[in-house]
Amino acid sequence: MLDPNLLRQQPADLAVQLRETRGYDLDADALAALETERKQIQVRTQELQNLRNTRSKAIGQAKAKGEDVAPLLAEVAGFGDELKASEARLDVIKSELDAIALGLPNLPHESVPAGKDESDNVEQHRWGTPRAFDFEVRDHVELGARNGWLDGDTAAKLSGARFTVLRGQLARLHRALAQFMLDLHTNEHGYEETSVPLLVNADSMQGTGQLPKFEDDLFATAVGESKRYLIPTSEVPLTNIVRDEILDDAAMPLRLTAHSMCFRAEAGAYGRDTRGMIRQHQFEKVELVTIARPDESYAEHERMTRCAEVVLEKLGLPYRRMLLCSGDMGFAATKTFDLEVWLPSQDTYREISSVSNCEAFQARRMQARWRNPATGKPELVHTLNGSGVAVGRALIAVMENNQNPDGSITIPEALRPYMGGLDKIA
């Protein structure tokens, strides 16, 4: 959520910023009209409330003296209906203003390039050289099916499209990747391993920006009157740990990691990457979340991105870092780096990690704060999140970049301790 002062005091300027950087159309005139009405009704409501309190006190004093209170009661009854109507209208206006505020995306950091889509993203650097193959490259689906490891047909029978069953050594390799990432981030990068719920309430989804805007992309469950959502990423529960909290300065920065299932309905994405494991309804990620002091969040953003890069380097996977343009960033982000891994079958780089600084956007929705020792007062924290990295896409990249002519897959050295010492699966 953006600073409310921007909406109240600079709606026209905010509308220009959102249109130019995010392609978002904010009706500044309607917002200003609502805000003007809110102020007028709030002032009148307070006047009526004060008048009611004054008259109630006068009625009590008149009764104590044995005086006739009928005129005072009639006066109170006369403005009572207006007070009720004013309070009801004020609630409606506040709800409308809240709905507008919750629907506004974050504003880009000044270092973010302007642009409309991924074609305007800016490459920062590359690592590794894509392998030159002297045989016909197979994609991960063919490699998996050839060995009986990847079974989309059975998954479709069990659950429908965009699910996958993994078997045998490929299932083990998938597990090994997650274990390797967790060990790396906890032992070398200083993150605290955390196990989080896969089902969360609406407040948690709203806190990180999934609700109300992206409800169609979420899976939800209902038992009786209780509705909960399957997490699209463990960013949601990890970040909401600090919702409605005031953290001590000594706890900052708070660095958390979790390996979890993730669930996305992918509404509107049909026809894109439907083959194999690129875009699934259910997948796994090792997530990184940091709760940071505001003046340290951009240094933390670089650090967090580097933590994800180390995963790919230790796996020997060529990648590039991209700075996303203003039109390609996520709803809550103010600055985002994407890491894109090389996929030989597609002869291109594909996203495997997205690392974002949200500044105070999520914290304001969650009322997540820390006590600044310089002032002694609570202030909003900055929140950051990123994949460290997506397990399924890492599996795809390992399979394709390390395939052999006979269909076997060479295991990266970093994963061999997790594979019982195997150097190859076939």
141-194 pLDDT, tens digit per residue, is: 999 998 899 999 999 999 999 999 999 999 999 999 999 999 999 999 999 999
- Supply the pLDDT for residue 53: 82
* DSSP class per residue in 51-71: HHHHHHHHHHHHHHHT---HH
SS3 (DSSP) at 276: coil
Catalytic (active-site) positions: 264, 279, 351, 354, 393
- Supply the pLDDT for residue 289: 98
306 annotated binding-site participant: no
Q: Nearest to residue 233, comparing CAs of 198, 274, 195?
A: 198
- Supply the pLDDT for residue 279: 92
Q: What is the mean pLDDT of residues 28-45?
A: 95
Give the predicted TM-score (pTM) of the model: 0.92
Whether 258 has a pLDDT exceeding 70, the answer reads yes
- Supply the pLDDT for residue 50: 87
Which tokens belong to 127? 């690592």
More confident residue, 239 or 61: 239
Strands 369-371 and 246-247: parallel
Spatial distance between the Cα atoms of 404 and 137, rounded to a whole number of angstroms: 9
Percent of the chain past pLDDT 90, that is, above it, reads 88
30 annotated binding-site participant: no
Whether 323 has a pLDDT exceeding 80, the answer reads yes
Q: Among 75-79, 130-134, 232-236, 256-260, where is mean pLDDT lowest?
A: 75-79
Percent of the chain past pLDDT 70, that is, above it, reads 98
SS3 (DSSP) at 162: coil
Whether 268 has a pLDDT exceeding 60, the answer reads no
75 annotated binding-site participant: no
Which tokens belong to 258? 């979790």
Distances (CA, A) of 264 to 134, 174, 230: 38, 20, 8
Band of the pLDDT at 270, cuts 50, 70, 90? low
pLDDT tens digits for 371-408? 999 999 999 999 999 999 999 999 999 999 999 999 99
82 annotated binding-site participant: no
- Supply the pLDDT for residue 294: 98
233 annotated binding-site participant: yes
